[in-house]
Each structure stands twice: as structure tokens, then as C-alpha cells.
């Protein structure tokens, strides 16, 4: 092998490649639309910048921030007047990586720019190149409703000093290439900590309690550190990969509500190699203990098609839910309706359970949308829905439901 020069054939090839590149201009600097699309999926831009069921990227989705008010996602389609069509690439990069839009508009961290700072400038330009290809929309989202002093965007200058963007950082040579790729995906575009890490007093992400779980948008984003009892230390690599890539893992239930969106808009587009890299990194995090562990499951006899009828919750479950989930929870027709072993059946006093029964959940899968209908505002009262939740908790797990906790969960964010 020649180390110091090119062998003759490769020299010729290089020359040829050089000429063909010259003929189309500086190809290396041109952003890649294809890479931009993949990164935009990995970064889940669409889920936040789209009202559920609305025009993609046209904005308007509301983000309630407890104690502060409501922030609305802007229109980021290429429309020149209502979207970001007039922005330069550099303005776009600054907005996405540093949280500063043109006109010194400091963004709130409801937009996860501190995580996106871990993407390179070129990668963010690729995202821009792809976003420029989506249909423009003239939608004008509602302005933010924030209480004073949070309404002053300049406050974010101070916030950024305390909690602000990290930047792309070198790979850790002590760790494998997979681990480094996983860290990049989880901490960067995936911004998993934005939901799964508790926040500090100044609303920064807690590094000490990273991935220990917290409540966001009225739902518990569970502890996903490798702690055996309160995290996901007991999940096999295969189960975690299956959950992240499809939204369901047998014995762990189905990703619902906000996590179903993360899977639907983002993770299910990732390559198996990238999913595996995330699994490697997640399983190597510092274990954290927390109080959102699942209660031990009760084993309903498989195929048992009888349900206790003693309580109102039991009767309502039989008439409202068992048609899809079956009395033993194993799910009729769709494996996605198999809820056995799901943490959502018991954790955090039934918080997510109540919210999911109220609002339903949609998960996009390779075989189409899996839809759990929402029951709030229908024929059943909130009291009925809480009774169903209490029944689910005691029928499928050993949890002890509390009326106060179910009521608090029902109130939402």
C-alpha cells in the first residue's frame, strides 16, 4: 500500500472526480437536502411547529409553561411574509443554535436551541435547505401570552449565561464510536433531556439529575436512566430499540401521548444503527433513583375473558375499553393495544393513565396509525374516567389509586 502518494489509478480517479466537481461548482459547500431531512426528523421539528392535524411547520401549537403563560410555535415554512422565507442561512443557524432570531428576538427555551447547539453549523444549514422545500403557509400563529416579567425577551440574555447553549463538543476517545453517536443523537437533535430531565430553579436542565424524569405538559416523562427499579435498567437492548423505533415493546406497553409523537414524527425515521447507538448511550447513563417506578404487575391469566363486575370502574372498562384491549390487556387485533407491563398503568399515581384516557393518543407505525380514542367531553363524566383509571391500576398492577392524585392529573398543566 502506498502511504505517501496516490497510486496511478486513484490519481486518475481523483482527477476525474475533481473535474466533475468543478463543472457543478463547489459541491462540498452545498447543503444536502437529504441529510437536512434526516436531521430535521431526528430533531423532531415538525411535531412542535405543527398544530395536531394542521399544515406541517405552519406553527400555532401552544406550549403552556406553568406559572409563566403560553408560548406559541412560529410558522417556519418558506413563506416570505409569514414564515422564514426571507431569512438568510446565517440568521437561521443563529436562531436554531443560539436562540436569537433576526431583530435580536431572543427565543424562549420552549424551542430546544441549547440542545441543537450540538449540531454543527453545516448540519443546521442542511436542515434549512430541506425546510426550504416544504410548502409555504400564510398562517399567522397567535402571539405569546406571557406574564410580566417573563414577557421581556431580553431576560433570556441572562438565562443563556446561566443555562445557555453548549456547543458541539469533541467525541470522547475513551468511548466507542456508537456511544459517541448515541450521545450526539440523545443530547443534540433528539433533545430527550428537555422532557426527561428535571429543571433547576432557573429553569435550566439539571445535570445532577439528568434523565431522572419529570412532569412536562401534564404528563410524566419517566426516568429513563439505567436505574433498575425506577429507570429503564431492566429493559433489554432489544426491547428498548423496539420501543424507540416502533413505539411498542412487548412487556413494556406502547408509547403514548407526547412520547407517541416523538416516535411518530422523529424516531421511527431513524436507521437501526442510529437507534442502536441511542440504546448504547442510554444504557450507559448514570443511574438515578426516582419516585415514578411502576408497581408490580398483576398477572391476569392470559386469555381470561372475564372481568370483575363489582365496581363501576370495572363495568365501564368492560363496556368502553375491553373491546380493544381485552380483559387481560393483551390487545385485540393490534399488538399496539397490548398494554401489559406498561409503566403507564400504575406510575405516578396514574397521572399519564388519566391524561391518556381523557385525550387519547395516536401513534404512527409502519402499519398505519394506531389510535386510542379520547373520552373527555363524551358521555362519561370525569368521575367515570377516574373510576376506570382506578380499576385499570388495580386490575393490571398492585398500585393503590388515590382519588386526589387522579383528580390532580385530570386538571392537567
At what angle are helices 89-98 and 121-131 packed, to 10 degrees? Answer: 120
- Phi-psi domain of 253 (left: phi exceeds 0; alpha: psi -120 through 50; beta: other): left
Cell of 58: 405552519
Cβ proximity to ligand HEC: between 27 and 210 the closer is 210
- Minimal CA–CA distance to 222: which of 201, 236, 243? 243
Within 369-398, the residues that bind ligand HEC by CB under 6 A are 370-373, 375, 388, 392
The yes or no reply on residue 281 touching ligand HEC (CB under 6 A) is: no
The window from 27-35, 174-182, 352-360, 402-410 that contacts ligand HEC (CB under 6 A) reads: 352-360
32 close to 126: Cβ distance less than 8 angstroms: yes
For the chain, how far is it from start to end, CA to CA, in angstroms? 64
Binds ligand HEC by CB under 6 A, chosen from 352, 359, 394, 397: 352
User: Dihedral angle at the C-alpha atoms of 129, 130, 133, 139, nearest 10 degrees?
Assistant: -100
d(CA 25, CA 18): 10
DSSP 180-208: HHHHHHHHTTT-THHHHS-B-TTSPBPST
Binds ligand HEC by CB under 6 A, chosen from 129, 219, 354, 410: 219
The window from 8-16, 18-26, 165-173, 363-371 that contacts ligand HEC (CB under 6 A) reads: 363-371
Within 146-185, the residues that bind ligand HEC by CB under 6 A are none
CB of 208 to ligand HEC, least distance (A): 19
CB of 5 to ligand HEC, least distance (A): 42
Cβ proximity to ligand HEC: between 10 and 151 the closer is 151
Cβ proximity to ligand HEC: between 175 and 315 the closer is 315
Q: Phi/psi of residue 209, each to 5°?
A: -110, 30
CB of 17 to ligand HEC, least distance (A): 32
Within 26-55, the residues that bind ligand HEC by CB under 6 A are 40, 43-45, 48-49
d(CA 88, CA 12): 39
- Minimal CA–CA distance to 130: which of 23, 16, 34, 59? 34
Cβ proximity to ligand HEC: between 24 and 154 the closer is 154
Within 314-343, the residues that bind ligand HEC by CB under 6 A are 320-321, 323-325, 334, 336-337, 339, 342-343
Q: How far is CA 285 from its chain centroid?
A: 18
CB of 331 to ligand HEC, least distance (A): 8
Q: Where are the beta strands (DSSP E) in 102-249?
A: 105-106, 145-146, 214-216, 219-221, 248-249
CB of 303 to ligand HEC, least distance (A): 19
d(CA 160, CA 104): 14
Residues facing residue 74 across a β-bridge: none
Cβ proximity to ligand HEC: between 45 and 58 the closer is 45
Give the x/- contact pattern for ligand HEC in 65-84, rule: CB under 6 A. Answer: ------x-xx-x-------x
Binds ligand HEC by CB under 6 A, chosen from 196, 268, 276, 283: 196
- Minimal CA–CA distance to 272: which of 181, 339, 364, 193? 181
CB of 2 to ligand HEC, least distance (A): 43
Total residues interacting with ligand HEC, rule: CB under 6 A: 78
Within 260-279, the residues that bind ligand HEC by CB under 6 A are 260, 262, 267, 278
d(CA 142, CA 75): 10
Binds ligand HEC by CB under 6 A, chosen from 38, 130, 184, 222: 222
d(CA 357, CA 323): 15
CB of 31 to ligand HEC, least distance (A): 13
Amino acid at each position: 500500500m502506498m502511504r505517501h502518494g496516490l497510486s496511478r489509478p486513484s490519481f486518475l480517479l481523483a482527477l476525474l472526480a475533481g473535474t466533475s466537481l468543478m463543472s457543478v461548482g463547489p459541491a462540498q459547500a452545498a447543503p444536502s437536502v437529504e441529510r437536512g431531512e434526516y436531521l430535521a426528523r431526528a430533531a423532531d421539528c415538525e411535531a412542535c411547529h405543527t398544530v395536531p392535524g394542521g399544515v406541517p411547520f405552519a406553527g400555532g401549537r401552544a406550549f403552556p409553561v406553568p406559572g409563566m403563560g403560553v408560548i406559541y410555535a412560529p410558522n417556519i415554512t418558506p413563506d416570505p411574509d409569514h414564515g422564514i422565507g426571507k431569512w438568510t442561512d446565517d440568521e437561521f443557524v443563529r436562531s436554531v443554535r443560539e436562540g436569537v432570531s433576526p431583530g435580536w428576538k431572543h427565543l424562549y427555551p420552549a424551542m430546544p436551541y441549547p440542545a441543537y447547539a450540538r449540531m454543527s453549523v453545516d448540519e443546521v444549514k442542511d436542515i434549512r435547505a430541506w425546510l426550504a422545500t416544504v410548502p409555504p403557509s400564510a398562517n399567522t400563529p397567535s402571539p405569546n401570552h406571557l406574564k410580566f416579567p417573563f414577557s421581556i425577551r431580553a431576560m433570556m440574555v441572562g438565562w443563556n449565561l446561566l443555562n445557555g447553549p453548549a456547543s458541539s463538543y469533541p467525541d470522547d476517545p475513551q468511548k466507542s464510536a456508537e456511544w459517541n453517536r448515541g450521545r450526539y443523537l440523545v443530547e443534540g437533535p433528539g433533545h430527550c433531556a428537555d422532557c426527561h430531565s428535571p429543571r433547576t430553579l432557573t429553569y435550566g436542565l439539571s445535570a445532577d439529575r439528568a434523565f431522572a424524569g419529570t412532569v412536562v405538559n401534564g404528563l410524566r416523562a419517566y426516568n429513563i436512566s439505567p436505574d433498575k427499579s425506577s429507570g429503564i435498567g431492566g429493559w433489554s437492548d432489544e426491547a428498548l430499540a423496539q420501543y424507540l423505533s416502533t413505539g411498542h415493546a412487548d412487556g413494556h406497553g406502547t408509547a403514548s401521548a407526547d412520547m407517541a409523537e416523538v416516535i411518530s414524527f422523529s424516531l421511527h425515521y431513524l436507521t437501526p444503527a442510529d437507534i442502536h447507538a441511542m440504546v448504547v448511550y442510554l444504557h450507559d447513563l448514570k443511574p438515578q433513583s426516582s419516585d415514578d417506578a411502576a408497581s408490580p404487575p398483576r398477572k391476569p391469566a392470559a386469555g381470561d375473558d372475564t372481568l370483575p363486575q363489582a365496581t363501576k370502574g370495572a363495568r365501564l372498562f368492560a363496556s368502553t375499553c375491553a373491546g380493544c384491549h381485552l380483559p387481560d390487556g393483551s390487545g385485540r387485533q393490534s399488538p399496539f393495544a397490548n398494554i401489559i407491563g406498561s409503566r403507564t398503568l400504575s406510575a405516578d399515581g396514574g397521572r399519564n393513565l388519566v391524561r391518556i384516557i381523557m385525550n387519547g393518543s395516536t401513534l404512527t407505525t409502519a402499519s398505519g396509525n394506531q389510535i386510542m380514542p379520547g373520552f373527555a367531553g363524551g358521555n362519561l363524566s370525569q368521575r367515570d374516567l377516574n373510576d376506570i383509571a382506578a380499576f385499570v391500576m388495580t386490575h393490571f398492577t398492585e398500585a393503590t389509586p388515590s382519588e386526589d392524585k387522579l383528580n390532580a392529573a385530570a386538571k392537567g398543566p
